[in-house]
Amino acid sequence: MKEVSDNNAQKKTSKKGNNKDDKKPLQVLQLNKKDIHNSKPEKLKSVNISNDTKMISSNENDLMNNEVLLEKKITKPSIINEEFKYPNSIKKNQLEKPPEIDNTIEEFEIERTVDDYDFDENEFLAALNDNEPIGLEGETIKGKIIALESDGLYIDIGGKAPGFMPKKESGIGVITNFKEKFPVGLELEVLVIKEQNADGMVTVSARALILRKSWEKVGKIAKNGELVDVLINGFNRGGLTCDVEGLRGFIPRSQLEDGSNYQSLVNKILKVSFLEVNPESKKLVLSEKKATLILKFTKLKLGQLIEGEVLAVKPYGFFVDLGGASGLLHQSSVTNGSIRSLREIFVEGEIIKALVTEIDLEKGRIGLDTALLENSPGELLIDKSKVMLEADERAAKTKGLFEENNI
């Protein structure tokens, strides 16, 4: 039994010896950071260890070295980092209190000083006027002739460059004595037809200004219903041509009193009225028939009692012949009573009496009224013959309504 126990004892001691030898490389792994900081790393004693153990020790050394460098960076910060990290170290008495600012607007004033660079308002407006281009299209300006050329003339219009008027724009029709009609120094009024070019020169026209004034004058004549005498200077398939205030007018054959032999009217003077005046399309249409009608209208007065024949019955009223002219008796002016049908009052061919209440020379229209002849509303429907018989006496009572318009 002792031998057995002794053998076991030998085995135990041998195992302990082996464990010691195995733990030797682990001592290298148990190095502490304190040892690294306090003392320089010593060379490790040469120990018989395996290749795997050497790789582990070298890796551990690298890791520890990195940790040492990182710790040095953390434990020794720069001065700037210390101030940023520890702002509480700054003393309170080192900070200055910012000055108080008064935000009241009333006490805040800006003192403006006048210097050489100030620009007066009047000077500013004067500068604008000096730089403003002279001669906008459609503008009427006055100037003085400063030079004549074979193709036109130059006019001083007060701009940086003179205005140029082509020879064809100097007037209406053919001008034979150009130099005599436009001597140097002559003042005239012209119309700008083209604005400034690259040289600052504008194109002007005396002809365009004459035509503009002619259209304006013709428009006023037509609006007032006035008549004009024209000289017939030509004809074509549709009618006659003439000149009116320097404009070319046209008289259709249907607007002539005698349209069958209209060619014979050339070089004769006719009294005409205006049918259409359109400066944009340059359309000027005249009528001899309308002129004859207006002549008859001029003999009429507002409130005048006329007698005529009913020419036609329309849904809106009656057309009455006044001896070459026709007047309109509108349904609203027939009677003050309610009407079921206009034909129950007047029919075509019937002779009636009515008051003139409107004279439109421009449109060639005459307005009539029979309701003013009634003594009571609807009397014309009840006793038409009595109203027509007493029309003269009743018309005299209504003269006061039209006296102001006839003055």
- Helix, strand, or coil (residue 284): strand
Q: Following DSSP, what letter does each residue of 36-68 receive, concatenated?
A: HHHSPPPPPPP----HHHHHHHHHHHHHHHHHH
123-224 has CATH 3.40.50.11810 classification: no
Tell me the CATH number for domain 300-406: 2.40.50.140
SS3 313: strand
Q: What is the CATH number of domain 227-293?
A: 2.40.50.140
Q: What percent of the chain has pLDDT over 70?
A: 66
The β-bridge relationship of strands 203-205 and 187-194 is antiparallel
Q: Work out the mean pLDDT of the chain and round it to a whole number.
A: 75
**pTM for the full model?**
0.52
Domain ranges of the chain: 28-72, 123-224, 227-293, 300-406
List, for residues 248-259, the tens digit of each pLDDT value.
Answer: 999 999 999 888
Average pLDDT over residues 10-37: 45
Task: Give me the numbers of helices (H) and strands (E) for the chain, helices first please.
Answer: 13, 15
Instruction: For residue 225, give the nearest of 173, 277, 262 by alpha carbon.
Output: 277
Pairing of strands 326-330, 365-369: parallel
Instruction: With residue 69 as reference, give the H or E element that holds it.
Output: helix 51-75
Give pLDDT tens digits for 368-404.
Answer: 999 999 999 889 988 999 999 999 999 988 887 887 6
Provide the pLDDT for residue 339: 83
Structure tokens at 235: 């004809």
Residue among 216, 204, 225 nearest 279 (CA): 216
Separation CA 41–CA 79 (nearest Å): 30
Q: What pLDDT score does 162 carry?
A: 84
pLDDT of 123 over the 60 cut: yes
Provide the terminal-to-terminal Cα distance of the chain, rounded to the nearest Å. 172
Domain 227-293 in the same topology as domain 123-224: yes
Tokens coding 117: 């660079």
The percent of residues above 90 in pLDDT, for the chain, comes to 27
